[in-house]
Amino acid sequence: MKNSESKKAVFIVGSARSGTTLLQSMLASHPEVYSFPETHFFRGTIPKFSFLRWLKFYGEKEKEFIRKFLIRVNQIELDVKIPSATFNTTEWIKGLLYLLDSLSHNSIEKIWVEKTPMHLYFASLIENVRQETKFIHIIRDGKDVVASLFDASKNNPNAFDGKQSIQKCILRWKFDIQIHKKHLGKQNHHFIFYKDLIYKTEDSLKRICDFLELDYLNEMKLFSHKTKELKFPEEVWKPDASNELKESNKFESIFSLDDQALIKSKIDPIDLSCFK
């Protein structure tokens, strides 16, 4: 059995609704990769903006957030490994990484993969604590992301209406792209386009496997069972294989022509070629 501390740590990050679930399921289908449902450990306990971290106290509220996840994945015995209360963000992150190591302690795989899209905002903090950590960024066309985010927001009673909601979705995607760009050129960061994962699946997975020092296996394309294992019952927006591997026409179906033109005017000028 491999010691958890000897395993490589990998984070899949990206905009919400960008295909992170698909890639996680594919990687988790590899016999040398262990993964778990979205933890939200960093997003849920660490302030998104750096100036809010100066006086941040990581205490019982944050520990309870972690504890609820452990209960849901039937590993409450790891409660003793939840980080101790602290004002030090670096120490808190060290504790979270150690806890993630512990979540995979009883598995024989050599890599563990954590997938919470919004952990994109904490990649720099994580790699500052553990430099060898690897990150896989999924880049998806802004129109598709905005359409999916907007569609989901319609079920949120606190969401903005109409144009406000569209603008919010656009700004969120554009902000995420700027964060992605900060990691260009780093050896421990790999970028993959969602469309390549769909239309050039084998080639894309081979490149990811090279990045992770894994042998590519055809079984990585047979991932539906993993998708079901890695999502909680209420996460109905996460599609299974039968729904995932196809292009969505949601953009054209849910937006008026005027709204489509507005979105394109904001999205199209953003250059994504730097990620190729």
pLDDT digits (tens, 9 = 90+) for 216-238: 999 999 887 787 778 766 665 55
Q: Which two tokens stand for residue 212?
A: 């992770």
CATH assignment of 4-36+104-275, given 3.40.50.2300, 3.40.50.300, 3.50.50.60, 3.40.50.970?
3.40.50.300
Residue-level pLDDT at 242: 44
- Within its chain, how far is the Cα of 171 from the centroid? 18
- pLDDT, residue 104, reads 86
User: Whole-angstrom Cα distance, residue 263 to residue 117?
Assistant: 22
Statement: residue 276 has pLDDT above 80: yes
What is the CA angle 173-28-10, rounded to 5? 60
pLDDT value, residue 3: 45
pLDDT at position 216 is 96
Supply the pLDDT for residue 239. 61
What predicted TM-score, i.e. pTM, was given to this entire model?
A: 0.91
Give dist(CA 64, CA 66) in Å, integer.
Answer: 5
Residue 79: count other Cβ atoms within 10 Å of its Cβ: 13
Q: What is the DSSP code string of 111-140?
A: EEEEE-GGGGGGHHHHHHH-TT-EEEEEE-
What is the spatial distance between Cα 169 and Cα 153, in angstroms, rounded to a whole number?
Answer: 9
| Tokens describing residue 180 | 């992605």
* Separation CA 101–CA 248 (nearest Å): 36
* Straight-line distance from the first to the last Cα atom of the chain, in angstroms, rounded to the nearest whole number: 38
Please answer whether residues 133 and 12 qualify as being in contact, where contact means their C-beta atoms are separated by less than 8 angstroms.
Answer: no
In this structure, the number of other CB atoms found within 10 A of the CB of residue 39 comes to: 22
Q: How many residues does the chain have?
A: 276
State the average pLDDT over residues 51-68.
96
158-215 pLDDT tens trace: 555 678 889 999 999 999 999 999 999 999 999 999 999 999 999 999 999 999 999 9
Residue 60 has pLDDT above 90, yes or no: yes
Q: Are 214 and 27 in contact (CB under 8 A)?
A: no
Secondary structure (3-state) at 37: coil
169 vs 148: CA distance, rounded Å: 9
Mean pLDDT computed over 140-152? 91
Question: What's the token pair of residue 18?
Answer: 């960008």
Distances, alpha carbon 252 to alpha carbons 143, 165, 259, 272, in Å: 10, 17, 10, 21
More confident residue, 123 or 151: 123
Q: Which residue has the higher pLDDT, 180 or 152?
A: 180
**Residue 233 or 265, more confident:** 265
Going across the sheet that includes 111-115, the strands are 33-35, 111-115, 8-14, 134-139, 189-193
What pLDDT score was predicted for residue 262?
Answer: 94
How far is 249 from 122, CA to CA, in rounded Å? Answer: 32
Give 81-134 pLDDT, tens digit per residue. 999 999 999 999 999 999 999 998 767 779 999 999 999 999 999 999 999 999
Mean pLDDT score of the chain: 89
Rounded to the nearest 5 degrees, what angle is found at the Cα of 17, between the Cα atoms of 240 and 26?
45
Q: Percent of the chain beyond pLDDT 70?
A: 88
Tell me: pLDDT of 5 over 90: no
Segments making up each domain of the chain, as ranges: 4-36+104-275
Are 42 and 116 spatial neighbours (Cβ–Cβ below 8 Å)?
yes
Q: Which helix (H) or strand (E) holds 12?
A: strand 8-14
